[in-house]
């Protein structure tokens, strides 16, 4: 383990930017966005520097740590504010700062007309800092700080235009559902401390083998809940669609490339827990598989381009979670898909933003059409991302997704067949809805309003798109060449070199996958390219489509199961407090006052009746004496 003093700058630079811009107020309006972009870029620079340093060291020496100060130190509960940069976190650092910087650049132009652009950049910097803390923290508790930090940044950015009540509600929904996940993380930390006496990654990794499977399973399930909350996995997925209320760069950075993948990071980071807790691992796979299908199905019915992409994100993260749940063989592929997805999905989101930019913030794809001619660069970059997500060779998604499908089949037995089929089916549906997006947006006839003047975006916007497109094309190939990423991450994961039995040969899997993709594309073509698309969503659709349009009833479910009963409980408790508890108190008071006013009747002002009472008192006194004397 190497120590370093420069890790802190990774976080400190964007954090300083956020603080400066937020505290500086309007004074920094003029140059705030530039400063933020520069700081994000310099953080990327530090990341690259760390990578080069890391490459120059032997495998054992590669992880770098930095202890900043004693954070919480009570009895046996010792948590340092410490940073850890290893092979896993450097991937994230580069993704976060790299894509982050690109999106900063994109936003300069995208947000140029917004009067609060400075605040937007401050929040972006805050997000970068929090996300870096999340992946750099060396204990679950430091991770927790970043974890909630990104939740806060996400809340602030989703609700950036919170003057619209719906957007404000969306941001609140995201934060609260994330908090449910955070609760899981809290539980996981508590279990770790109660059973292992430590909450640092290293400590838990060391103690995991001495700890009972039950405890680890519990911790694993709690980590899974945390991951589900942050990564919009079933059953905590409902917030992601609404989170598209935020400005599009936010969707690209936070809700596609980085924050939502934090769950994958958490599970791969906690590999020592899951490896020892097969039940928890199985649950991870199940959650991944369900979400994969869930997101894909929602994606087929969405007319809002951002929501379609969000559903796709959910589905793709499902792939990653599934891979992560497959154990040591899957971690690297999960991360690889995460990285490639980071490129192509961010690219596509930026493309969507570019389209919206040209179409006066119209998001309904049914009002697009034939934009290819008007936005050639956007079309090209978006198209490259499209090919990548489909998994068409040699684009990035081909390498990463195919590996996941393959690993899924190799999981063995019925499990393997089911998982493999699900992933394959998912690939087909992905092909269908992504093709639908392409057709509706870029080809066919124009369906936009009279006063729309679609135009290509300025270079500040298309440049990041282009760079991301390059990533979408090449990253898969680069990362998988000679198993580069797998080998890079290998020291972290306890990979038992037992020879997997291949259920299907890799080439067969690829073939199957490509076939499925082709089928998906074909259906989409038949459905959307051969016939005219209505510019208003048709109502006479199948029940299935209706349900898919309503996000598979996820909101209705949450409303009936949690929100309504919660509201009823709240009103009941408020009434209880008023009537029962405070009522009891007031009744006591009323009894006192009632007896007082009853006795007050004696105080009638007539001195003679007072005298009579005194006389009565005297009688009572004498009677008492008489009794005593007798």
Closest by CA to 81, choosing from 72, 90, 89, is 72
Give the residue with the Cβ less far from other proteins, 526 or 622.
622
Closest by CA to 506, choosing from 402, 610, 393, 390, is 402
Using the Cα atoms of residue 223, residue 229, residue 231 and residue 233 in order, give the sign of their dihedral.
positive
Residue with tokens 């899951």: 274
Torsion angle of the four alpha carbons 606, 612, 614, 617, in this order, in degrees rounded to the nearest 10: -140
CB of 461 to other proteins, least distance (A): 27
CA–CA distance from 230 to each of 184, 263, 397, 550, 626 (Å)? 11, 6, 23, 22, 85
Site for other proteins in 20-59 (CB under 8 A): 22
Closest by CA to 308, choosing from 321, 295, 319, is 295
Site for other proteins in 574-593 (CB under 8 A): 574, 577, 581-582, 585, 589
CB of 147 to other proteins, least distance (A): 8
Site for other proteins in 80-139 (CB under 8 A): 81
> What is the enclosing helix (H) or strand (E) of 164?
none
Pick one of 41, 51, 180, 504: the residue that binds other proteins (CB under 8 A): 180
CB of 435 to other proteins, least distance (A): 38
Give the residue with the Cβ less far from other proteins, 196 or 467.
196
Q: Does 169 bind other proteins (CB under 8 A)?
A: yes
Site for other proteins in 187-246 (CB under 8 A): 187, 189-191, 193-198, 207, 210-216, 218
Whole-angstrom distance, CA of residue 50 vs CA of residue 30: 32
Q: Where are the alpha helices (DSSP H) in 111-238?
A: 117-136, 140-158, 165-196, 201-207, 213-230
Give the residue with the Cβ less far from other proteins, 51 or 168.
168
> What is the enclosing helix (H) or strand (E) of 367?
none
CB of 218 to other proteins, least distance (A): 8
Q: Are 230 and 262 in contact (CB under 8 A)?
A: yes
Q: Does 141 bind other proteins (CB under 8 A)?
A: yes
Closest by CA to 345, choosing from 379, 381, 375, 371, is 381
| CB-side neighbour CA atoms (13 Å) of 435 | 22
Give the residue with the Cβ less far from other proteins, 459 or 610.
610
Binding mask 360-399 for other proteins (x = CB under 8 A): ----------------------------------------
Closest by CA to 357, choosing from 496, 219, 213, 252, is 252
Pick one of 4, 53, 186, 443: the residue that binds other proteins (CB under 8 A): 186
Whole-angstrom distance, CA of residue 324 vs CA of residue 280: 12
Give the residue with the Cβ less far from other proteins, 190 or 534.
190
Give the residue with the Cβ less far from other proteins, 59 or 604.
604
Give the residue with the Cβ less far from other proteins, 183 or 370.
183
Pick one of 414, 507, 598, 629: the residue that binds other proteins (CB under 8 A): 629
CB of 44 to other proteins, least distance (A): 23
Give the residue with the Cβ less far from other proteins, 360 or 582.
582
CA–CA distance from 87 to each of 56, 206, 276, 484 (Å)? 13, 19, 22, 12
CB of 196 to other proteins, least distance (A): 5
Give the residue with the Cβ less far from other proteins, 208 or 424.
208
Count residues near other proteins (CB under 8 A).
82
Give the residue with the Cβ less far from other proteins, 75 or 538.
75
Pick one of 570, 579, 587, 591: the residue that binds other proteins (CB under 8 A): 570
Give the residue with the Cβ less far from other proteins, 47 or 181.
181
Q: Are 171 and 162 in contact (CB under 8 A)?
A: yes
Pick one of 47, 82, 149, 369: the residue that binds other proteins (CB under 8 A): 149
CB of 623 to other proteins, least distance (A): 6
Residue 542: how many other CB atoms lie within 10 Å: 8
CB of 200 to other proteins, least distance (A): 13
**Contacts for 361 with CB less than 8 Å, ≥ 6 apart:** none
Whole-angstrom distance, CA of residue 218 vs CA of residue 246: 35
Whole-angstrom distance, CA of residue 71 vs CA of residue 80: 5
Pick one of 65, 109, 162, 270: the residue that binds other proteins (CB under 8 A): 162
Closest by CA to 53, choosing from 66, 40, 71, is 66
Give the residue with the Cβ less far from other proteins, 209 or 361.
209
Stretch touching other proteins by CB under 8 A, among 37-45, 70-78, 449-457, 530-538: 70-78
Strand arrangement of the beta sheet that strand 2-3 belongs to: 2-3, 64-74, 77-85
Rounded to 5°, angle at Cα 349 from 346 and 354:
125
Pick one of 38, 176, 417, 537: the residue that binds other proteins (CB under 8 A): 176
CB of 74 to other proteins, least distance (A): 4
CB of 566 to other proteins, least distance (A): 8
Stretch touching other proteins by CB under 8 A, among 163-171, 311-319, 442-450, 511-519: 163-171
CB of 98 to other proteins, least distance (A): 25
Peptide bond into 60 cis (omega under 30): no
CB of 80 to other proteins, least distance (A): 10
| CB-side neighbour CA atoms (13 Å) of 578 | 6
Q: Does 484 bind other proteins (CB under 8 A)?
A: no
Stretch touching other proteins by CB under 8 A, among 145-153, 267-275, 397-405, 494-502: 145-153
Whole-angstrom distance, CA of residue 425 vs CA of residue 417: 12
Q: Quote the tokens at residue 372.
A: 């290819």
Site for other proteins in 595-624 (CB under 8 A): 600, 603-609, 611-612, 615-616, 618-619, 622-623
Give the residue with the Cβ less far from other proteins, 210 or 451.
210
Whole-angstrom distance, CA of residue 434 vs CA of residue 430: 6
Residue 467 in 3-state DSSP?
Answer: helix
Residues in the chain: 630
Burial of 176 (0-12, 13-18, 19+ CB in 10 A): middle
Pick one of 121, 127, 144, 448: the residue that binds other proteins (CB under 8 A): 144
Give the residue with the Cβ less far from other proteins, 146 or 385.
146
Give the residue with the Cβ less far from other proteins, 67 or 527.
67
CB of 517 to other proteins, least distance (A): 40
């Amino acid at each position: 383990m190497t120590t370093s003093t420069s890790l802190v700058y990774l976080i400190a630079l964007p954090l300083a930017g956020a603080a400066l811009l937020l505290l500086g107020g309007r004074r920094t309006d003029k140059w705030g966005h530039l400063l933020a972009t520069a700081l994000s870029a310099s953080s990327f620079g530090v990341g690259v520097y760390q990578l080069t340093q890391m490459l120059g060291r032997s495998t054992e020496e590669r992880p770098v740590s930095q202890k900043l100060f004693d954070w919480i130190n009570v009895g046996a509960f010792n948590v340092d504010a410490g940073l850890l940069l290893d092979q896993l976190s450097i991937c994230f650092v580069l993704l976060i700062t790299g894509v982050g910087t690109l999106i900063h650049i994109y936003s300069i132009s995208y947000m140029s007309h917004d009067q609060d652009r400075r605040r937007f950049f401050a929040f972006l910097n805050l997000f970068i800092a929090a996300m870096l803390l999340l992946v750099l923290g060396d204990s679950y508790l430091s991770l927790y700080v970043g974890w909630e930090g990104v939740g806060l940044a996400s809340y602030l950015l989703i609700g950036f235009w919170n003057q619209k009540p719906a957007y404000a509600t969306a941001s609140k929904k995201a934060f609260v559902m994330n908090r449910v996940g955070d609760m899981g993380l809290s539980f996981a930390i508590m279990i770790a401390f109660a059973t292992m006496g430590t909450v640092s990654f290293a400590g838990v990794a060391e103690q995991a083998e001495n700890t009972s499977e039950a405890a680890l399973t519990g911790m694993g399930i709690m980590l899974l809940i945390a991951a589900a909350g942050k990564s919009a996995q079933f059953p905590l997925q409902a917030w992601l669609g609404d989170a598209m209320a935020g400005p599009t760069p936010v969707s690209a950075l936070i809700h596609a490339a980085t924050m939502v993948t934090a769950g994958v990071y958490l599970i791969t980071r906690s590999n020592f827990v899951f490896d020892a807790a097969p039940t928890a691992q199985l649950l991870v796979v199940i959650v991944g598989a369900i979400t994969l299908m869930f997101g894909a199905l929602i994606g087929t019915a969405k007319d809002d381009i951002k929501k379609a992409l969000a559903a796709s994100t959910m589905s793709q993260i499902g792939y990653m979670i599934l891979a992560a749940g497959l154990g040591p063989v899957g971690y690297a592929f999960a991360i690889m898909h995460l990285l490639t997805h980071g490129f192509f999905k961010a690219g596509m989101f930026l493309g969507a933003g570019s389209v919206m930019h040209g179409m006066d913030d119209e998001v309904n794809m049914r009002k697009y059409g034939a934009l290819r001619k008007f936005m050639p660069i956007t079309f090209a970059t978006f198209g490259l991302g499209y090919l990548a997500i489909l998994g068409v060779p040699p684009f990035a998604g081909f390498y990463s997704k195919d590996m996941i499908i393959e690993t899924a089949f190799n999981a063995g037995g019925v499990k393997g067949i089911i998982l493999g089929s699900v992933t394959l089916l998912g690939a087909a549906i992905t092909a269908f809805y992504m093709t639908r997006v392409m057709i509706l947006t870029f080809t066919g006839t124009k369906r936009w309003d009279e006063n729309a003047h679609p135009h290509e975006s300025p270079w500040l916007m298309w440049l990041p798109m282009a760079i991301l497109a390059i990533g979408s094309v090449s990253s898969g190939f680069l990362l998988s060449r000679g198993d580069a990423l797998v080998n890079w991450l290998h020291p972290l994961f306890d990979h038992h070199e037992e020879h997997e039995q291949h259920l299907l040969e890799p080439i067969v899997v690829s073939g199957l996958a490509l076939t499925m993709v082709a089928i998906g594309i074909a259906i989409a073509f038949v459905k959307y390219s051969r016939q005219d698309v209505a510019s208003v969503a048709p109502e006479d659709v199948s029940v299935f489509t209706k349900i898919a349009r309503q996000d598979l009833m996820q909101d209705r479910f949450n409303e009936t199961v949690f929100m309504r009963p919660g509201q009823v409980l709240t009103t009941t408790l408020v009434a209880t407090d008023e009537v029962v508890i405070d009522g009891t108190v007031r009744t006591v008071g009323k009894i006192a006052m009632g007896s007082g006013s009853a006795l007050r009747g004696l105080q009638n002002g007539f001195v003679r009746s007072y005298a009579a009472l005194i006389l009565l008192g005297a009688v009572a006194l004498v009677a008492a004496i008489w009794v005593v004397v007798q």
